Amino acid sequence: MKQTRTNFSTFAIMNLHFYKYQGAGNDFIMMDNRALLFPKNNQSLINKLCDRRFGIGADGLILLENSINYDFKMTYFNANGKEGTMCGNGGRCIVAFAKELNIIEISTTFEAIDGEHTATLKKGLISLKMMDIDTIEEFDNHTFLNTGSPHHIIFQSDIDTINIKDKGAKIRYGKPYFEEGANVNFVEQISDDAFKMRTYERGVEDETLACGTGATAVAIAANKTNKTTANSIKLKVLGGKLEVSFNVKNKIYTDVFLTGPAVKVFEGNITI
């Protein structure tokens, strides 16, 4: 009878130290991975850590890593365990985390999947510079643009009554996005320079309390479609308030800043 050899690595126990941060209710597991010990190719582990019943619970997991040319590198994973595109609130939270680790003081330049970002910390708020935007697609019923992550934006009234998970999923998986998907934002104007919004996030596959790249996309889309002439726009999200400012020249949106709170909730250890 042939003997089989047990792969004991399958049953390895990991002890992880983590931090939990939230930006306007968008919450993230933060880990200091400068020693490169975290198994970031383990999608099921990341998914389990983000699970709100069997793990720590979060919209995503973010690793702070060393960078050759910048203060640090941000590596972001969606709650489903897959590496994601840029996350604006996650970017603000990792800045607060870098401050906690004494890597930075009141300003920073770091790298993320979509390139270089600068940020400043002032009076409890973190202002994060986002990428320039030169391409905005306008359709009859929605606007589409990529602010580090792709966003489908619908302006309408009574967004409080919408079943975001159901309607958002249909758009996220529908034509032309399909499996790659897009984040879906439902937006209602409440004053000349203020909007409230609700977002279905791909990767989380549900509504989140806030979305930073979504807030950025909504503010730019509102200006582009002449719903406002303001270049500093307030966004009311389920988890609080965000603000997006920008300059416009030759139809290009530059000096785009996402501003809002980023708060440490707790830290701890988990054995998994």
Three-class SS of the chain: CCCCCCCHHHHCCCEEEEEEEEECCEEEEEEECCCCCCCCCCHHHHHHHHCCCCCCCCCEEEEEECCCCCCCEEEEEECCCCECCCCHHHHHHHHHHHHHCCCCCCEEEEEECCEEEEEEEECCEEEEECCCECCCEECCCCEEEECCCEEEEEECCCHHHCCHHHHHHHHHHCCCCCCCCCEEEEEEEEECCEEEEEEEECCCCEEECCCHHHHHHHHHHHHHCCCCCCCEEEEEECCEEEEEEEEEECCEEEEEEEEEECEEEEEEEEEC
pLDDT in tens, 239-263: 999 999 999 999 999 999 999 999 9
pTM of the model: 0.92
State the pLDDT at residue 13.
Answer: 77
* Residues belonging to the active site: 87, 211
Residues of the chain above pLDDT 90, percent: 92
- Residue 6 pLDDT more than 90? no
Average pLDDT of every residue of the chain:
94
Q: Which of 218, 220, 181, 166 is nearest to 196 (CA)?
A: 218
pLDDT single digits (tens) 100-153: 999 999 999 999 999 999 999 999 899 999 999 999 999 999 999 999 999 999
> Is pLDDT above 90 for 272?
no
- pLDDT for res 209: 97
pLDDT for residue 18 is more than 80: yes
Structural domains present in the chain: 8-129+262-271 (3.10.310.10), 137-259 (3.10.310.10)
User: pLDDT digit string (tens) for 181-217?
Assistant: 999 999 999 999 999 999 999 999 999 999 999 999 9
List pLDDT tens digits, range 58-94: 999 999 999 999 999 999 999 999 999 999 999 999 9
What's the pLDDT score for residue 3? Answer: 39
